[in-house]
Structure formats: structure tokens, C-alpha cells
Amino acid sequence: MTAQQTGSSAPTGGDSLVALENVDKWFGELHVLQDINLRIRRGEVVVVIGPSGSGKSTLCRTINRLETIDKGAISLDGQPLPAEGKALAQLRAEVGMVFQSFNLFAHKTILENVTLGPIKVRGIAKAEAETRARELLDRVGVGHQAEKYPAQLSGGQQQRVAIARALAMEPKVMLFDEPTSALDPEMIKEVLDVMVDLAKRGMTMVVVTHEMGFARTAADRVVFMADGAIVEENTPEEFFGNPRSDRARDFLSKILTH
Ligand SMILES: Nc1ncnc2c1ncn2[C@@H]1O[C@H](COP(=O)(O)OP(=O)(O)OP(=O)(O)O)[C@@H](O)[C@H]1O
Ligand SMILES: [Mg+2]
């Protein structure tokens, strides 16, 4: 730990687990991320919300370097994100990502989906990886499905496997990009329950979602984005109850009326 090293220059990002500092990104003419400053503390749960096209997915993707940035700096646990090679593979292992579509390997069993990363990337022995995978699958409620293939599971079950797969890498932070938006309504709760449990266990999480119930229950902070910028950030109570900007008020009035 470096906390006692007073007087020395702070590592990038200071005390934050994830730190974005003055981040800008363009897609051609489109200024998709505009001077983003965001620090995420260890154990913090941040919900990112905002209109379609505001840059939420792009923001997530820069944190595990699926997208590069044009200006500014991003650090994970005090280290700048590596650009390439082995260090980048290591970073990807430390940043778990769950997308809207489940992205499981169709030709591998549920158990194989969860053990693949730990065996290949972490170098963990197969038996140990399987024991750990079964624990994680039990935890997300699909332990009895371990020998099946993804297509034999419901969308909600597949998404819970995707969460278990990410957790199997023992990530420092988990990014969720609209993890429930492709699911039938009756399956949304079972996935959100797993996420709430993860939050309670102290996982650091960045969650793009419009699920207000989740935000109110689990988020420490809501970050509202519009047109590539962070317009407002606050506790869920304040943000939903008393939005300050016209953009946020307008957005909330739209999502609350349907
Ligand atoms: N690879 C790309 N090349 C060019 N433009 C892109 C690319 N990816 C995203 N964009 C554009 O960047 C903007 C932000 O996209 P992004 O996917 O981050 O938005 P979002 O907030 O996640 O939206 P949604 O709520 O619809 O998922 C959009 O205008 C999108 O069309
Ligand atoms: Mg998106």
C-alpha cells in the first residue's frame, strides 16, 4: 500500500480505482467524449444514465481500452491503461465487462465458458478453475446448468453466466453496459438481483442502465451524460428527486412516463 507515503507524488488517479482525467474522444467529426472527468472509488457503484448516443457505451469501452482516447488519461488502480501486448491482456482480465448481448461461446458448455479465461489467461489449473466456476455459477443461480450449452438457457440465465464468467477472472472493477435491456421483463429482476448482491459484496461497478430500481437500491452515484459530456452527477435520491439541469429533467420526464 502506498497510503502512508506522504510527500511523494501521487500516482495517476490518486485514491481512485478508476480515474478518467480530461478525456476527449472523437469519431471523425463527432466529439463523442468531451472533457470527461470521473473518479470511481474502490467499492463504489456508479450508474451511468443518459439519452441514446450520449456516449455511455463509448465511455465504458475506453475503460477496458476497447476504444482508444485522443486526449487525457485513464488509470486503473493508479496505473495508466496499457496500450498493447501482454499488459493489455492483463488489463482486460482486471476489468470485467458484461454487455447487452451475452457473448457466450455457443459451442462451449456453460462450465467451459466460465473456466476458459482463468485457464488460458490466468494460468489456473483446470480442476481449480472448475471448482471456482461451479461456486460462481451457484452464486448466480445457474449451478445446475453447468453442462448445458448457452442456447439451452434463457436470456436471463445466459446473462447470469456472462456475469459469472467475468467474475471468474477476479476483476478489480466490473462494467455493465445495459445488461438487462435485451431481456424479457420477467428475466430482468433475476439479473438485477445478482448485480445488487455483487454491489453489496463490495465490487466496484460502473453500470449503464435505465433501471431506476437498481440505481436507487445499489448506486452510490448517478452520472448523467448528454452529448458526450457529464452534465450532472449526484446521489440517486438527489438525481431522481431533484435533477438540476434541464437536460436531466427532460430525460427523466421521458423515461418515467413509459
Ligand atoms: N465505432 C464508431 N464509429 C463512429 N461512430 C460511433 C462509433 N461508436 C459509436 N459511435 C457514435 O458515437 C455516439 C455515442 O455512441 P454510444 O454507443 O457511446 O452511445 P450510448 O450513449 O451508449 O447510446 P445507447 O443508449 O443508444 O446505447 C453515437 O452518436 C454513435 O453513433
Ligand atoms: Mg450504449
pLDDT tens digit sequence for 117-133: 999 988 999 999 999 99
CA distance 217 to 199: 10
Tell me what pLDDT residue 1 has. Answer: 40
pLDDT of residue 11 exceeding 90:
no
Ligand 1, atom nearest to 58 Cα: 18
Q: Is 98 exposed, middle or buried (0-12, 13-18, 19+ CB in 10 A)?
A: buried
Q: Is the CB of 10 under 6 A from ligand 1?
A: no
Q: Is the CB of 227 under 6 A from ligand 1?
A: no
pLDDT of residue 8 exceeding 80:
no
For 253, phi and psi rounded to 5 degrees? -65, -30
The ligand with the least distance to the CA atom of 48 is 1
Tell me what pLDDT residue 147 has. Answer: 98
pLDDT tens for 19-65 read: 999 999 999 999 999 999 999 999 999 999 999 999 999 999 999 89
The ligand with the least distance to the CA atom of 54 is 1
Neighbours of 68 (CB within 10 A): 10
The ligand with the least distance to the CA atom of 225 is 1
Q: Which helix or strand (DSSP H or E) is residue 217 part of?
A: helix 212-218
Tell me what pLDDT residue 60 has. Answer: 96
Q: Is the CB of 75 under 6 A from ligand 1?
A: no
- Residues with a beta carbon under 5 angstroms from ion ligand 2: 57
Q: Do residues 215 and 236 touch, judged by C-beta distance below 8 A?
A: yes
Neighbours of 31 (CB within 10 A): 16
Q: Is the CB of 57 under 6 A from ligand 1?
A: yes
Report, as an integer, the average pLDDT of 151-171.
96
pLDDT tens for 193-225 read: 999 999 999 999 999 999 999 999 999 999 999
Q: Is 95 exposed, middle or buried (0-12, 13-18, 19+ CB in 10 A)?
A: buried
Can you give the pTM of this predicted structure?
Answer: 0.92
